[in-house]
């Protein structure tokens, strides 16, 4: 069985460019200053530019917004997200950390920064922000999810599974958490539990809507249980759903050969069983 790895963090290192909500640090009762009003205007324009996929313009506008109102943590977070998308990871993290100097009580900032650190493999910093987020919002599924991901990245699978289940108790239908939980069970050599978790995950999708990655993970669990025919069926379905990863293609070829099925190579290096 190959030690194939699926990229299971959510694509989603980013929280996403959400709608601008104003300067959360400044109390709502505080009159809007000219600087804050201008920062909000620039941020709205930045979000509009991001919606048009004009990230260069969005970056420029968010930078101007931060310069107008350095305490506007929303503007800093949007700026960080665009910087990250532009490949400027260290600059993005710097913006998150500067925002956290303004307020230490923002769960969203902690999770956003923690995911960035996690993606860069800076696990101590990811864990620091995950624990801070949990202390702020102990009933937040995304906080426990981040902590679980950090533990899984460190190979602490029992701790990770405990955290994943805390997250699922708060958000039982969350697809990203279910997928990561199944992967943690697979890494812990508990394929039966991985398959059970994947079955729950598949129920959250409509007919024919389950992503290929889910079927690929299912194939890995089936192989671990010594079910090559079932594994081949899962990998084949993964391919049909758009998973053309090296692992899926290779396992289809290997299992097809082992089961006496012939394969041909299709365009793009894909294989088709006969």
pLDDT reported for residue 252: 96
> Is residue 254 helix, strand or coil?
helix
pLDDT reported for residue 273: 46
pLDDT reported for residue 26: 40
What would the pLDDT profile of 243-271 be if each residue is shown by its tens digit? 999 999 999 999 999 998 754 434 344 44
* Residue 152 CA from chain centroid, whole number: 14
Six token digits for residue 170: 């708060």
Domains along the chain? 36-103 (1.25.40.10), 106-190 (1.25.40.10), 205-274 (no CATH)
> Is residue 32 helix, strand or coil?
coil
Sites in the chain below the pLDDT cut of 50? 1-30, 263-274
Percent of the chain topping pLDDT 90? 76
Per-residue DSSP letter, 94: H
CA dihedral 80, 48, 86, 128 (to 10 degrees): 20
CA dihedral 208, 210, 212, 213 (to 10 degrees): -170
Predicted TM-score of the model (pTM): 0.80
């Amino acid at each position: 069985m190959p030690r194939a790895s699926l990229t299971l963090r959510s694509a989603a290192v980013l929280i996403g460019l959400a709608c601008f909500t104003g300067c959360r640090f400044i109390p709502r009762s505080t009159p809007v200053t000219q600087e804050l009003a201008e920062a909000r205007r620039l941020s709205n324009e930045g979000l509009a530019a991001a919606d048009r996929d004009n990230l260069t313009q969005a970056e420029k506008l968010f930078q101007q917004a931060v310069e107008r109102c350095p305490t506007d943590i929303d503007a800093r977070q949007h700026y960080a997200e665009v910087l990250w998308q532009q490949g400027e990871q260290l600059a993005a993290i710097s913006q998150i950390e500067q925002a956290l100097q303004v307020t230490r009580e923002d769960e969203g900032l902690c999770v956003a920064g923690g995911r960035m650190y996690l993606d860069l493999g800076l696990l101590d910093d990811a864990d620091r922000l995950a624990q801070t987020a949990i202390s702020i919002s102990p009933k937040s599924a995304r906080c426990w999810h981040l902590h679980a991901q950090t533990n899984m990245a460190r190979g602490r699978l029992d701790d990770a599974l405990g955290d994943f289940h805390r997250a699922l108790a708060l958000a039982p239908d969350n697809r990203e958490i279910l997928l990561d939980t199944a992967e943690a069970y697979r890494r812990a050599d508990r394929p039966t539990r991985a398959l059970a978790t994947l079955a729950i995950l598949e129920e959250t999708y409509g007919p024919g809507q389950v992503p290929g990655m889910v079927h690929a993970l299912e194939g890995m669990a089936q192989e671990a249980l010594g079910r090559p025919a079932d594994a081949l069926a899962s990998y084949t379905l993964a391919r049909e759903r758009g998973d053309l990863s090296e692992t899926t293609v290779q396992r289809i070829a290997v299992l097809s050969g082992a089961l006496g099925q012939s394969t041909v190579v299709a365009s793009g290096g894909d294989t088709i069983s006969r």
